[in-house]
Amino acid sequence: MKKNVDLPSYEEVIETFKKSFNQVNDEELNQLFFNNNSKLYTRGEDIYHQGRRINGCYFIYSGVVKVFQTGGEGKEQIIRFARKGDLIGFRSVINQELACTSAKTVDNAILYYIPSSILIKLLKTNPEFSYQIIRLVCKELGESNCYITDIAQKTVKERLAEILTMLISDFGLDDDKVLQITITREELANMVGTATESVIRLLSEFKTEKIIETKGRKLRILNPRILSEIAKSY
């Protein structure tokens, strides 16, 4: 587990950033990344914390980050998993309010910090970039709205199948059909919005139905099709 990871060069960060946001010119890129403050985070490290002040957002160069809210009883609700090329924390920056989510790494990750002032200046001066951000936020809003309906109307089984389907399409399977993101049962439960034990029982069901196999935290998806069948229910 003690891989020696090199931090990316200026050029590598910019290359990755351009893949997500292609409307930013060289001078602006330079402003965003001139002081190259990328940082390596190891699994489980806090990036920012709900209720705290947040003075900038983070661009994910590599790794996986969970964005979540902590409810009344201290239970996490995972809003999304963010990965390479994603921007996190900008919502609170833009609204200039305390962070209303927390973010924590799920996998070793390299993040690049972007101060509020630079992001906001870019938004106010570059309409094309601004438009890309609008589309991005609108997309997330659409997803959130759909998830409200799902969580209000679907059974836990349907939602679990849906989350698995989503993880498959976001993170993919390897040649051996193993899902390329490793998360605990609890994290899966916090994503689905249910108890850990319920997730475990349903995964067992899926196993007896030959839809998946499990080995520790590795999930082998034998039949993605049926999962998305179960998920939709309409």
**Which x/- pattern over 150-179 shows residues binding DNA (rule: CB under 7 A)?**
-----xxx----------------------
Binding segment (CB under 7 A) for DNA, from list 61-69, 113-121, 188-196, 221-229 = 188-196
Q: How many whole angstroms separate alpha carbon 116 and alpha carbon 99?
A: 13
**Contact between 30 and DNA per CB under 7 A:** no
**Contact between 3 and DNA per CB under 7 A:** no
Exactly one of 196, 213, 220, 222 binds DNA (CB under 7 A); that residue is 196
Return the closest-CA partner of residue 205 out of 161, 151, 147: 161
Exactly one of 40, 195, 222, 226 binds DNA (CB under 7 A); that residue is 195
Among DNA, a copy of itself, none, what does residue 176 contact (CB within 5–8 Å per kind)?
Answer: none
- Smallest distance, a copy of itself to C-beta of residue 40, A: 28
**Contact between 144 and a copy of itself per CB under 8 A:** yes
Q: How many whole angstroms separate alpha carbon 121 and alpha carbon 117?
A: 6
Q: How many whole angstroms separate alpha carbon 89 and alpha carbon 102?
A: 9
H/E element, 70: strand 64-70
3 state SS of 119: helix
Q: How many whole angstroms separate alpha carbon 110 and alpha carbon 84?
A: 9
**Contact between 204 and DNA per CB under 7 A:** yes
Q: How many whole angstroms separate alpha carbon 20 and alpha carbon 139?
A: 14
Token pair 């609008």: residue: 134
**Contact between 214 and DNA per CB under 7 A:** yes
Residue 221 β-bridge partners: 212
| C-beta of 53 vs 135, nearer to a copy of itself | 135
Q: Which of residues 96-115 bind a copy of itself (CB under 8 A)?
A: 97, 100-101
3 state SS of 23: coil
Exactly one of 145, 169, 184, 204 binds a copy of itself (CB under 8 A); that residue is 145
Return the closest-CA partner of residue 85 out of 31, 29, 143, 14: 14
Contact by Cβ (8 Å): 45, 104 = yes
Please give the residue ranges that form the binding site for DNA (CB under 7 A).
1, 73, 155-157, 184-186, 193-198, 200-201, 203-204, 214, 216-217
Please give the residue ranges that form the binding site for a copy of itself (CB under 8 A).
69, 71-73, 75, 77, 79, 90-92, 94-95, 97, 100-101, 123-128, 130-131, 133-135, 137-142, 144-154, 193-194, 232-234
